[in-house]
Chains A and B, each alone.
Chain A
Amino acid sequence: DAKTTQPPSMDCAEGRAANLPCNHSTISGNEYVYWYRQIHSQGPQYIIHGLKNNETNEMASLIITEDRKSSTLILPHATLRDTAVYYCIAGAGSYQLTFGKGTKLSVIP
């Protein structure tokens, strides 16, 4: 797996967009970028993943830079229920997902 670097914590005002950055400068060509989140005392929840192109689903958008060395997860309208630890993972597939320490996102009323 490529190593990923995320800020340990971030705050976001309720209703605003939350932009969570991730650095994966050593990512190789066949490795995807996956995002998961974990709300306190629950199992991790899959959010989105991508290889080269930007991706969007009902939960979030994933923006990957052209050189693929970094990405940003965007929650367009953060709610209090989005308070969680967000994990950015780079890997070639399910067998190779290494969860680091993630970013603790706090959504503030």
Chain B
Amino acid sequence: DVKVTQSSRYLVKRTGEKVFLECVQDMDHENMFWYRQDPGLGLRLIYFSYDVKMKEKGDIPEGYSVSREKKERFSLILESASTNQTSMYLCASSLSRADEQYFGPGTRLTVT
């Protein structure tokens, strides 16, 4: 059974803190994605990775960085969290370019 897991369901951090969000997939998928979801704005792509150590910017990469050292793991990093980064963060993976994406359950991050 396909599985994408995220390290936390809920997270509360203070402004200026460095935040790590972890995502793991067990399907040997090539591609992994990070989105954020905000009311009225839908899902917006932050970064994606098509291979180990490879990454591409999505639509809203500012304020974020990513790391993919192993095929199964894709990390999203907020170098200095700000209140406007309070959001639901969703990780996804797909086998190949035309294939469907499988999503994790999401991490609801609150920055105070």
Contacts and interface: CB of A to CB of B under 8 A. Distances in A.
Contact of B103 (A34, A44, A93): A44
B90 A94 contact: no
A16 interface: no
Contacts of B35: 99
Contacts of A15: none
B56 A95 contact: yes
Interface string B20-55: 000000000001010100001011110010100000
B105 A95 contact: no
Contact of B101 (A97, A98, A100): A97
A32 B98 contact: yes
Interface of B: 4, 31, 33, 35, 40, 42-45, 48, 50, 56, 59, 90, 92, 94, 96-106
Nearest to B29: A94
A43 B100 contact: no
Interface of B is mostly: strand
Interface of A: 32, 34, 36, 41-46, 49, 87, 92-95, 97-102
B98 A94 contact: yes
B111 to A, nearest CB: 20
A33 to B, nearest CB: 12
A97 to B, nearest CB: 7
Contacts of B102: 46
Contacts of A34: 100
Contacts of A94: 31, 33, 48, 94, 96-101
Contacts of B99: 94
